[in-house]
Amino acid sequence: MRGFIISRMVQLVVTMFIVSVVVFFILRLSGDPILVLAPDFFSEEQIEQMRKFWGFDRPLGEQYITFVRKAITGDFGKSYLAKRPAMELIIERLGYSWLLAAASAAIGLTVAIPLGILSALKRNSLLDLIITAMSSLGTAMPNFWLGLMLIIIFSVHLRLLPAFGALEPKAIILPSVTLGVGMAARLSRMTRSAMLEVLNQDYVRTARSKGLMQKTVIMRHALRNALIPIITVFGLQLGWLLGGSVVVESVFSWPGLGRLMIDSISVRDNTVVQAGLLFYALSFILINYAIDVIYIILDPRIKFQ
Amino acid sequence: MKTVRLLILLSLIAVIGALAIAPAAAQDDMSEFVFAHSGPIRPMDPHSHWYGSTHWMLNLYYDCLIWRAADGNGYVPQAAQSWEAIDDTTWRFHLREGATFHNGEPLDAAAVKWNIDRVRHPVGDIPLYQQWDFVQEVVVVDELTVDILTPQPHAFVEWDVSYNGCELIPPAYFEEVGQEEFNRNPVGSGPYKLVELSENDRYVFEAWDDYHSGRPEVDRVVYQVIPEPSAQVAALLAGQIDMMIGVPVPDRERLEATDGISLVNESSNIMHHYYARVDTDSGAFPETFPEYEPATLDINVRKAITHAFDRHLLAEVHGAAEPRLARVCAHYPEGYADKYADPDIIADWYNPELAKEYLAAAGYAEGEGPTLYLDTPVVGRGGGAKEVAEVAAAMLEDVGFTVDLTVRDASAFAVEVQRSGNNRDLMLATLGCSYAGVTRYYQCDWSAVAYNICNEEWDAVADAIQVTIDTDERLALWEQWWEFYIDYSQTITLFEVTNVMALNTADFAYAPRKDGWMTFRDVQVADM
């Protein structure tokens, strides 16, 4: 266990270092942020003055070293847009993104797993066909389109739910359903195929021949063994959701990290983009580690390595 | 199966938690006007940025000394109850007795001096100083009287002191907490107090009972950032916002047909122009295109371009615009704007035969005009840039030019072309239309990245406009100035963008300002 933790910590540091280099230099290659920040009527002299104020007149290597030195202490610099610390802005938005991620994941899981199991058990039946068709539809539907449709139905026509923002508890319903539908569609397909694979295994046949109830066979013997690929896909989806869903947050004006990133990218607010991307990377890595731990719980044959 | 059950249980807890934790919307009897802002909204320190759409909002929260009248004619008092020109270089402002900032700090002459001195000095991250360099000194005469001294007569003192950066912030509080904390917890001086701030997301203002000119009629004004126009339309139809601007063309009919919603058209104060390259020295052009000689260096080519455009058609293609010939909005009482907004004059200006004659004068045989590189973003401020550019290119080709049109994403256009000065023959410039500042951008001492112009005669007229206090004399100078502008044809004006707004008229009454500012000190509850 100790070896596992140490090796993962080393991996984390190395990955974050590589991500920081890539993010920093790619953002610099994407253009001079001062040219977006400066108004149309600024003279060359004023633009140069702004560049100096924000430190862009210094050599790139020096800028990177300063960035890393400060980032280690949690200082990712000041947002050019908000003129407040970038990490403070990210933390403000994080809660909203996590709420949305949790609600969407909940919808995704509660819908996907029962449907996936049902679909596998009733293989090639009409029910299977319907579930498979619905999951294909859910996967294919662009979430911005689904979001707008839900707004039109539930906000404009029925006036049941808010069309935007996070002003009241029920405001989370439409964005989380929008995200949850896509997640449920992908997870139910994965659940179906994983279940089909294990249902044909000898140990399932043995369990049945022992006279165990169908529910016990499914839940205790089949699903447990099918969970590993499901958890893998779920982990990837969750990592993506925790970083904020850019499109859905924009459609619903949900004040999460995804919208912050879009706003920051559009005005080349590099300090926030850098901090946000590093945060995304960290989220993915930590979720992957959590998934590794869940693997071991699910399947004791997998050992810490 | 414990793991699955645990996962599902956790999921349900998450949903319930989410519903429980999210803040509840305020439910009370207060009148609340919600404006959908497309964002982004910049910080609350009003001196630290020039972005107009943020200053719209800041105008609710901060007083200036004086403010531009909603109909574009003259000025109205804010923190200053009255003002006068003592002589050609001294403007005296009389402040209101007992006026304070929201925290009780006195809004007196010393506070005004501190504010103007802060905004006019190019220190740190205060980018507005150039607008304020007409000030030589701010003198505190007594507690309620402050003089602004200018080094020479300045015709636009009232304009300049009521524009970006004019907002008054409390000096003692700002010095105590610093800029970062001020942006988190600002203190203002206007008719509304800030009660909720979610950065670049939601700003809730409530009427201030102690405002010197009386409590505003609407209790609460909210600026809600909703980036997507389609989401704004849905929110308006759902009754969750009360006003949006820039209504997309496909939604106009539906909104107009909805009970309680009206469409209103007013100038957005944004104009679309094409900048022609008139030099090879400015910006990054000499490094990026060292061998390229733009055809537009020849004044006859530029004149051919300006006569090749059917501005009425271009405005129609845009979908919400009025054709113009000069860089000033039509409603401004100064700047000779009415002449260059005249539909007949503009219609006559479109003259393909004359354009061909100018091309011939430039040495090009008929149908063998030069290649023009035209750069545009997909969507400029005010929209429609790509479609307009495509039609403009067809018009240019019609008189003999070959057009190489490049369309970029807005931020790529800004970085790669516009603000780096990589414009070749023509590029789109979407600009505001203030008459006071316009002369400066064409003077010899103005070094822009996209062009460099120095005509000493034109320069002298610009100087004279800036220092001529007498209105009639100044208008005569404006006429001369615009003749230079039109003749030089570096900024080829196309149209003034109209703002199509949708308003909840069932609950609110609001007359849009002529200057395009979406600020709501004057919004009223509709008569039932």
CB < 8 Å from B in window 221-250 of A: 223-224, 227, 250
Chain centroid to CA B402: 33
Question: Which residue in the set B122, B199, B437 is minimally distant from A82, CB to CB?
Answer: B199
Say if residues B386 and B417 touch (Cβ distance below 8 Å). Answer: no
CB contact burial B409-421 (16+ within 10 A = b; e otherwise): ebbbbbbbbbbbb
Residue A26 φ/ψ, nearest 5 degrees: -65, -40
* Closest CA in chain B for residue A52: B124
Total beta-carbon pairs less than 8 A apart between chain A and chain B:
206
The structure tokens listed for B57 are 């909002």
Cα distance between residue B396 and residue B403, in whole Å = 7
Q: Which residues of A touch B204 (CB under 8 A)?
A: none
Residue by residue, DSSP assigns A146-191 as HHHHHIIIIIIIS--S-SSSSSSGGGGHHHHHHHHHHHHHHHHHHH
Phi and psi torsions of A86, nearest 5°: -60, -40
Could you tell me which of B329, B341, B318 has the C-alpha nearest to residue B516?
A: B329
Bridge partners (DSSP) of residue B430 are B272
Kindly identify which residue of chain B lies nearest to residue A294, measuring between CA atoms.
Answer: B3
Contacts of A46 in chain B (CB under 8 A): 127, 130
Q: Confirm if B236 and B74 have CB atoms less than 8 A apart.
A: no
Per-residue pLDDT of chain B (528 residues; tens, 9 = 90+): 555 555 555 555 555 555 544 444 445 688 999 999 998 898 999 998 888 889 999 999 999 999 999 988 899 999 999 999 999 999 999 999 999 999 999 999 999 999 999 999 866 666 777 788 899 999 999 999 999 999 999 999 999 999 889 999 999 999 999 999 999 999 999 999 999 999 889 999 999 999 999 999 999 999 999 988 989 999 999 999 999 999 988 899 999 999 999 999 999 989 999 999 999 999 899 999 999 999 999 999 999 999 999 999 999 999 899 999 999 888 887 777 788 899 999 999 999 999 999 999 999 999 899 999 999 999 877 778 999 999 999 999 999 999 999 999 887 898 889 888 999 999 999 988 877 888 988 999 887 888 989 999 999 999 999 999 998 999 999 999 999 999 999 999 999 999 999 999 999 999 999 888 999 999 999 986
Give the amino acid at B245.
Answer: I
Judging contacts by C-beta atoms under 8 Å, the chain B residues touching residue A294 are: 3
Q: Distance between CA atoms of B131 and B119, rounded to whole angstroms?
A: 9
Helix, strand, coil content of chain A in percent (nearest 5): 75, 0, 20
Please provide the distance, in angstroms rounded to a whole number, between the alpha carbons at the two ends of chain B: 62
Q: What is the ipTM of this complex?
A: 0.82
Chain A residue with minimum CA distance to B180? A84
Please give the structure tokens belonging to residue B451: 């062009």
Residues of A (90-109) whose Cβ lies below 8 Å from B: 92, 99-100, 102-103, 105-107, 109
At A276, is the secondary structure helix, strand, or coil? helix
Residue-wise pLDDT for B228-256, tens only, equals: 898 999 999 999 999 999 998 889 999 99
Q: How far apart are CA A242 and CA A244, in angstroms?
A: 5
Q: Are the C-beta atoms of residues A269 and A81 closer than 8 Å to each other?
A: yes
CA distances from A297 to A192, A221, A290 (A): 22, 15, 11
For residue A112, give both structure tokens. 């996907």
| Closest-CA residue of chain B to A252 | B231
Instruction: Sort strands B261-276 and B508-509 into parallel, antiparallel or unpaired.
Output: unpaired
How far is B460 from chain A, CA to nearest CA, in Å?
20
Cβ–Cβ below 8 Å for A113 and B412: no
